[in-house]
Amino acid sequence: MFRRISQFCKQLFEDAPKTTAPTPAQIEPQTPELTSGGLSLALVPRDAHSISRKQISENALKVLYRLNKAGFQAYLVGGGVRDLLLGLEPKDFDVVTNATPEEIKKLFRNCRVVGRRFRLAHIVFGRDVIEVATFRGHHGESNEKISKANAEGRLLRDNVYGEIDEDAERRDFTVNALYYDISDYSIRSYGGGMEDLKAGTLRLIGDPETRYREDPVRMLRAVRFATKLSMTIDEVTAKPIKQLAPLLKDIPAARMYEEVLKLFFAGKAVANFDMMQEYKLFAPLFPQVDALLKEAPKGPAMKMVQAIMKSTDDRVNEDKPVTPSFFYAAILWYPLRQRAEDIAVESGLTLYDAFFAAMGDVMEQQCQTISIPRRFSTPAKDIWQLQLRFERSQGTRAFKLLEHPKFRAAYDLLLLRGEVEGGNLAKSAAWWQQFVEADETERLTIARSGNKASGNRNRNTPQRRRRRPSGAKAKAEE
């Protein structure tokens, strides 16, 4: 028994043959073949690529080997293969096979089948989840139970299974059409994926307009991969994006929330924002912000967006935490202020009260395009409310405000606003910065000095209107 376990472990973790594999730049082009669909295929043997099983997660290997042992084809596919070839650490490892979700479930007790648009098997190993997909095929005769598209061509259901060549033709970019074969450790490169990886070119498989209409999120993926991998989007691939960008409005808001996390919380927020602006992809996600950017391209709203993107990148690169609550509070601050001013004019409310009415409106409208979970939208509103208290709390009240659970996030937004607007707001931010960074003894002195200067209110901060006396009290005052 012990000998068999040892032999299995040796097979699992040792690579053969023992050769020094080249980097992608050193790979000699293989003679390509053509698939039945006309997509080129190049086979890269083990001794001609740099991937080792030691670089693949143990759980992914378990899934690959069990599928292979059961008589199914099993491949590591997509981003995991691509990143390993580029010398990057993959975020996750995805597997593709000719086994159906039901057959996969019979092999793994820790399997759950998920998805409606395209059914997937998730093999759960504690916190690690290996996603296993069945080879996708081409859509033939219409059958709404397995495949369905809307009038714009977007796939609503895509449970058509096929062979590996068909699956490759259904992939989005050539650099993601790379399959690591666990049976002989070779790589199947479709559509010139290996060559595009070497050249740093991001190229869509198939007709770009058709593929974007099938799934408009591919336009966002093109931007994200281009910045993440330092690649250039192929001219043909890029051409339809501006025209088709409005299709993103039809994507479910919950899915867009996940895409925003990938775009702006991975250390490439500035680069992604700039490229999204170039291809008109930012407007469908943040219509309220975009309206202000168009109105004043160099105004405070643009400065705030640039500041929050840079701040988020800095924190990610320094391994500091970033939260959607702060991100959305910051990026929506100027739409909130604009909406509050509109409500004040329309209703006659004070600007202070109009701000509270505007918070729900702005957040509700944003959630129509990006579904922000309540666990983040509620703290974002707390951060907004604290902005109204900063100027009013200079002095001894500052100690109480300092104890608020969302004080730090609100304080960071105040500093960003001070950088953006300058003037009295910058002075208020400087006072708070001095107060926060001081020790307990110094804080008391600073707070007392703040009380003396509290008459100089920041014009950017809404103030409560004093109520006019009424009734008997008014007559007594007369």
Alpha-carbon distance 106 to 171, whole Å? 27
Please say whether the beta carbons of 464 and 350 come within 8 A: yes
| Residues with active-site annotation | 92, 94, 172
Please say whether the beta carbons of 222 and 204 come within 8 A: yes
Alpha-carbon distance 445 to 435, whole Å? 9
Q: Which residues have CB under 8 Å from 351's CB, separation 6+?
A: 340, 341, 344, 462, 463
Sheet containing 128-134: order of strands: 33-34, 40-44, 187-190, 178-181, 74-77, 94-97, 128-134, 120-125, 111-114
Q: Which amino acid is at 430?
A: A
Q: Which residue has the tokens 């951060």?
A: 383
Please say whether the beta carbons of 288 and 362 come within 8 A: yes
Handedness of CA 357, 360, 361, 366 (dihedral sign): positive
Please say whether the beta carbons of 288 and 305 come within 8 A: no
Tell me the chain's radius of gyration from C-alpha atoms. 28
Alpha-carbon distance 301 to 335, whole Å? 8
